[in-house]
Amino acid sequence: MNKGKIVSIHSFRGGTGKSNTTANLAAQVAMAGKRVGVVDTDIQSPGIHVLFGLDENKMGKTMNDFLHGKATIREIGFLIGENTGNAEGRSKLAGKDLWLFPSSIRGREISQILKEGVDFNKLNEGLQNTITEFNLDYLFIDTHPGLNEETLLSIATSDILIIILRPDSQDLQGTSVTIDIARSLDVPNLLLMVNKALPKYDAAQIKKDIEAQFNAPVAGVLPLSFDMAENASSDLFSLRFPDHEWSKGLRGVAKAILAVE
Amino acid sequence: MPGVFDRLNKEIQDKQQEGGITPLDLAGLPPALRKIMRLMLRELQMAYPGLCEAVDAMPEADRLSRDDLQDALSTLTQQAWLIRIGDGEKAIYKVNLRRKEGSKLAAGIWSSLDEKLKRNPKDE
């Protein structure tokens, strides 16, 4: 059976640009004509909906409703191109097959999950059913930073794991832990992406050093960018500024994802 | 009146309450068991003939013999990491993940948080 691929995006530490990268990669893969879903499994601190222009008023049913048996996966899928074309970058997604499966941003619902825990059979069923019910080619999972059980589940079920790191000693140490876990879970395709690299350093050298250190391919080295910071998650940067160095680097990572058999 | 599907579903749900595997346990499994569990995580549930077909389609180095597959399935069901409904060729297997426990913070903290959030009109 030819099922869609699950792509988990992970970083050991916060602040690496994980949600921004996930949203932009998903958008680029959708722009390439693929059917794409994005699930926010960062249930305790959801954020990726902001990049897709979704706020509390537009948000309907969420993953929290699914986990509590109050909604089906079909009811949660939010077609981005039809609903949030109010920003220059996002408007390019009109007519593209990109769905977001958001987590709730209501405080009470987040506290309910923290208090009651998570039914992992239900969560896994949700992840797999998004692929079959929406006939997806790719399902991107935006994970919680660090290693919690939801993250381990998404890694265990992934076809492709992308680990984002900054060229920083703490990130390098944490990444080695995640790589060990990913290898012990038999993840078939592991890619690294370096983000927020100071432009004064040689990107090719960073790639070479990190590949040698982790014995894993680096799909891209993306620069630290004030333009990106100024965007402040208000739009999909790579669609709005396609000629920017960050966007070019990101498209390289998207290409690496599409190249995986 | 509940049909066959409803009864099977209830049987599976009842069995899923009993234990289950955690995502971290998956990393510690021997390779043969881990292969089966990864497959089952993606497929959610499979009948025995489908499992045989999927195992046969694996790369040669990863492929399990029928005896190894039987041993793996037997170990996984004994641990309640897989749930088996039915026997022999007609058996259906379903993955069983352990529920993530809720926070151990004192109940009072959650109730006062709930009260506070209830007063927030944005959450109404």
pLDDT reported for residue A106: 87
| pLDDT at site B117 | 72
Contacts of A153 in chain B (CB under 8 A): 23, 97
**Closest chain A residue to B107, measured at CA:** A115
Amino acid at the residue B69: L
Cα–Cα dist A131/A45, whole Å: 24
Domain positions in chain A: 5-259
The pLDDT value recorded for residue B104 is 74
The number of distinct structural domains making up chain B is: 1
Which CATH number applies to A5-259?
Answer: 3.40.50.300
Could you tell me the sign of the dihedral formed by the alpha carbons of A157, B62, B24, B71, in that order?
positive
Amino acid identity, residue A206? I
pLDDT at residue A68, as a whole number: 93
Largest CA distance in chain A: 51
**Could you tell me which residues are beta bridge partners of residue A39?**
A101, A141
Window B:62-101, CB contacts with A under 8 Å: 95-101
pLDDT tens across B11-37, in order?
Answer: 666 656 568 999 889 999 999 899 999
CB contact under 8 A, B27 and A153: no
Distance from CA of B67 to the nearest CA of A (A): 22
Q: Which domain holds residue B38?
A: 4-123
**B77 to chain A, minimum CA–CA distance in Å?**
16
ipTM, two decimals, is 0.88
Sign of the four-CA dihedral A48, B96, B3, A133 = positive
Residues of B in contact with A106 (CB under 8 A): 122-123
Binned at pLDDT 50, 70 and 90, residue B105 comes out as: confident
B27: which chain A residues are within 8 Å (Cβ-Cβ)?
152, 156, 181, 184-185
Residue A194, number of CB atoms within 10 A of its CB: 26
- Please, which residues bridge with residue A40 across strands? A142
* Interface mutation vs chain A, best among B81, B117, B119, B120, most A CBs within 10 Å: B117
For residue B98, the chain A residues in CB contact (below 8 A) are: 120
Give contacts of A120 with chain B, Cβ < 8 Å.
Answer: 20, 23, 97-100
Check CB contact of A200 with chain B, cutoff 8 Å.
Answer: no
Task: Say whether B20 and A120 touch across the interface (CB within 8 A).
Answer: yes
- Determine which helix (DSSP H) or strand (DSSP E) holds B84, and give its type and residue range: strand B82-85
Dist. CA A10–CA A164, nearest whole Å: 6
Query: What pLDDT is recorded for position A28?
Result: 98
- Residues from chain A contacting residue B38 (CB–CB below 8 Å): 156-157, 185-186
Tokens at A192, concatenated: 């690294």
Q: Which of A107, A153, A185 sits opposite B120 (nearest CB)?
A: A107
Which chain B residue's Cα is nearest to A1? Answer: B54
Question: Is B122 near chain A, with CB under 8 Å?
Answer: yes
Q: What is the pTM of this model?
A: 0.91
Tens digit of pLDDT for each residue in B49-98?
999 999 999 888 888 999 999 999 999 999 999 999 988 888 999 999 99
What pLDDT does residue A1 have? 47
pLDDT of residue A18: 94
Per-residue model confidence as pLDDT tens for chain A (261 residues): 458 999 999 999 999 999 999 999 999 999 999 999 999 998 888 989 999 999 888 889 999 999 999 999 999 999 999 877 679 999 999 999 999 999 999 888 888 888 889 999 999 999 999 999 999 999 999 999 998 888 999 999 999 999 999 999 999 999 999 999 999 999 999 999 999 999 889 999 999 999 999 999 999 999 999 999 998 889 999 999 999 999 999 999 999 999 998
**Residue B73 belongs to a domain with what CATH number?**
1.10.10.10
**pLDDT at residue number B25:** 92
CA distance B60 to A170: 39
Instruction: Please list, in sequence order, all residues whose beta carbon lies within 8 angstroms of the beta carbon of residue B33, skipping any fewer than 6 positions away.
Output: B72, B75, B76
